[in-house]
Structure 1
Amino acid sequence: MKVKAVRLHGANDLRLDEFELPEIKEDEILVKVVSDSICMSTYKCAILGTKHKRVHEDVADHPAIMGHEMAGDIVKVGAKHQDKFKPGMKFTLQPALNYKGTMWSPGYSYEFFGGDATYCIIPAEVMELGCLLEYKGKAYYEASLAEPMSCSIGAFNAAYHTKMGVYTHEMGIKKGGKLAIMAGAGPMGLGALTYALHRDIRPSMIVVTDVNQERLDRAAHLFPIEDAKKDGIDLHFVNTGKLEDPVAYLREMTGGTGFDDVFCYAPVAAVVEQSSGVLGRDGCLNFFAGPTDNQFSAKMNFYDVHYNSTHVMGTTGGNTADMIESLELTAQGRINPAVMVTHIGGLDAAAETTLNLPKIPGGKKLIYTHISMPLIALEDLRSKEAQDSRYGKLADIVEANKGLWCPEAEEYLLHHFKEEA
């Protein structure tokens, strides 16, 4: 069958290709992709090409379909999997496969498997690893965003704490502790915030820092301090760019104890050093933001490592249990992944958006693969109303939902915007 997909041919070489998809084998599944959110990791893959750890050396001859935060419908199921999966089921998946010691993943490593496509083939290893998940919710975008949400969930679950003289780690963030999300007013930071506020084990204090006041203001609008207070959480938004000594200021906010858990969401040396500086005794620092520079480094206080048991770690991606937790919390209305989304677009906008991702302000860019639409910020929908009344209808829905994307907006989009042939 003829399909369209954004594929990687080499470093900085993304193309919207039309090509023939082969027939599925008995251990494969054919799916229709409906939504895919663009990850900063996809940008890193696109600019690095074969220098990226997940990209195969012969990508020029066998281009890789981009995108790994996908959701859609199962179309055809190979004989081996017909007992569990049926045509018509909605799906999402855990892309961190870790199959037989490889780093292969959809969106980086496969010629016929990725999210920036109209249709794709899910290979046998995904089912073998239990990474193909049936999605029973209504909105496809919530399933797409379950993957980035699972990354932050995994980071929270991977945090650990210690006790003097005891050689056992207590896993997870400290219950009732003090938590900082550094450079955290971007999409992934806001995903972490909605999770921190509504998970079962919560801190008593959360501080979100950034140097962009507009992003901080949006975060404060979406997460009112008064609401957090009702749940027993002392929430603060701090612009460290306006502070002469950010570390001293943040430590003073904690009463001088420092933070129990710190998540660093920017691969910037100054932010890493601030993150190290605000750690309290036995503080756990998760360097969440993956750099493109393989020589990236920053200072860390090793006096505190030795005498105050501070420690650093990093996580990339989540596991299947983290994905399931994300989907369950979303279905329960406890977390809202839409806080990450600021732009929508069609498949024809995916390549340019990916290659220019760091230059485009805002949060997550959500692609609908059967829609032809330029990338547009949710806040700009109203400005397009004069030329196309459908944008005005979308603006009505979004504005009635605190400026956030929502199931009603997705449903309108899928029903009223032209589908690619």
Structure 2
Amino acid sequence: MTTMKAVRFTAYKTFPELKEIERPAPGPGEVLLKVAGAGACHSDVAVYDEFEPGMNPLVDPEYTLGHETSGWVEELGEGVTGFEVGSAQLVYGPVGCGHCPACSRGQDTYCQNVAEMDYAGIGLGRDGGMAEYVTVPARNLVPLGDADPVPASALADAGLTPYHAIKLALPRLNRAGAYALVVGLGGLGLMAVQILKALTGATVIATDMKPEAMAEAEKYGAVTVPSGEDQVARIREITGGRGVDAAFDFVGIAATARAALDSAAVQSRVTIVGIGNGSTIDWSFLSTPYEAELVTTYWGTVEELHELAGLYRDGKVEPLYTTYAMDGALQAYRDLQDGKISGRAVVVPHGQA
């Protein structure tokens, strides 16, 4: 038996373990990847640290974490063609039934037969990429060409999630004089700033509590406003008083959602992307701008990941990341929980490309 190292989610309310497990073999329609990079995500922390048994049976333990994965094709399963061994690929994490209307348009996140599935996605109930090797349905692979696959791993969630939210808001932003607001400048927020600059001509306003995060956003062309009592007033001042056309909250707690809503213009769109902590906010007709939309989104489509990979190959977006060796993978999660990570923590089981 050939073994490998993997970060395993073993029980709820329990920190993951680094284990030696059997190396997988690709089944029919699958590809075995030699993992180049695996991103550590706050969603992982939510599952193992905050979820209770029964909340979502599709992510019940035990399995290997890692829903942000890139790698090199190592072996093709039965019936798989069109992939060259050694080629760099990015993994689309969601896995639906594959035949309902949502899955047919590449939106496995909203699979209509999710109750029939055994897992929510790769690294979410099914063994993921926080390991030396991972098996992936061939349909879930996005080619990276000659681009470095290590930082590309962060595109699979930290890139795709804001990309999807921003694409849905483009009708609000594709006009002269538009303003966009990014609340929260972690891995997703910093990617959002770059995506907004790549896809729109909008002035991007970014806000966070951390000066270093705002400094990174400024490098990407954002105008920054620190969190605080006068946060909304300063945002509205930048927009000439009318507010922003689209706001994206990548935190999702009551205070950040309130700041996004209070900064919104008439006929704007406010998207809550961050999971937050389940806080609620008050709403009233008279305090909400007319025809302002308040929506949520979840992840994105495989087609959008192909588009985002194209932006990455063209040098239009570049994830900010810190690498960890496989033996330091648990430290990556500790640093993530302690707020020590700027951008994304990426585990590189086989070293840099």
TM-score by length of 2: 0.86
- Does the Cα contact within 8 Å between 1:284 and 1:311 map onto a contact in 2? yes
Q: Does 1:179 align with 2:180?
A: yes
Structure 1 or 2: larger helix share?
A: 1
Provide closer, same or farther for how the CA distance between residues 325 and 24 of structure 1 changes in structure 2, counting only shifts above 3 A: closer
Check if 1:71 corresponds to 2:70: yes
Deviation at 1:69, TM superposition (A): 1.0
Q: What per-residue deviation string (whole Å, max 9, x for no partner) do you get for residues 6-62 of structure 1?
A: 0111122411111223543333322211211211112112214545537444x2xxx
- The partner residue of 2:45 within 36, 43, 46 is 43
**What letter matches 1:181 in structure 2?**
V
Aligned to 2:124: 108
Q: How does 1:150-189 map to 2 (within 5 A)?
A: 150-159=160-169, 171=171, 173-176=173-176, 177-183=178-184, 185-189=185-189
Structure 2 residue aligned with 1:88 = 86
Deviation at 1:283, TM superposition (A): 1.1
Give the AA of the match of 1:26: P
For 1:360 and 1:75, the matched residues in 2 are separated by: 35
Structure 2 CA distance, aligned partners of 1:21 and 1:4?
Answer: 9
| Identical pairs, percent | 20
| 1:345 pairs with one of 324, 328, 331 | 324
Measured at CA, do residues 54 and 327 of structure 1 come closer, stay the same or move farther in structure 2, by a change above 3 Å?
farther
Q: Deviations over 1:211-260 (max 9, x none)?
A: 2223223332x23xxxx5xxxxxx4111122xx33222321221111111
Q: Which has the larger radius of gyration?
A: 1
**8 A Cα contact 1:47 1:355, kept in partner:** no
Contact persistence 2:193–2:217 (CA under 8 A): no
Contact 1:157 1:173 in 2 (8 A): no
On the 8 A contact 2:260/2:270 being kept in 1, the answer is yes
Within the candidate set 285, 291, 299, 1:317 is matched to 299
User: What code does the residue aligned with 1:77 have?
Assistant: L
Task: Kindly indicate whether structure 1 or structure 2 has the higher relative contact order, using CA contacts under 8 Å at least 6 residues apart.
Answer: 2
Tell me if the contact between 2:190 and 2:343 (Cα under 8 Å) persists in the aligned partners: no
Counterparts of 1:194 and 1:98, CA distance in 2: 29
Give 1:132's aligned residue.
141
Q: Please give the secondary structure, in 2, of the residue aligned with 1:79.
A: coil
Matches within 5 A, 1:275-354: 275-291=260-276, 293=277, 295-303=278-286, 305=288, 308-337=290-319, 340-341=320-321, 343-354=322-333
Q: In the alignment, is the contact (CA less than 8 A) between 2:36 and 2:70 conserved in 1? A: yes
**Which residue of 239, 255, 275 maps to 2:226?**
239
Unaligned runs of 5+ in 1: 161-170, 229-234, 372-409, 412-421
Cα pair 1:264 1:289 within 8 Å, conserved: yes
Structure 1 letter corresponding to 2:226: N
Find out whether 1:254 has 2:239 as its counterpart. Answer: yes
Do 2:246 and 2:268's aligned partners in 1 also have CA atoms closer than 8 Å?
yes
SS in structure 1 opposite 2:125? coil
CA RMSD of aligned residues (A): 2.2
Q: Name the residue aligned to 1:363.
A: 343
Specify the SS of the correspondent of 2:165. helix
TM-score by length of 1: 0.72
> 2:131 and 2:346 mapped to 1: Cα distance?
13
Task: Give unpaired runs (5+ residues) of structure 2.
Answer: 98-110
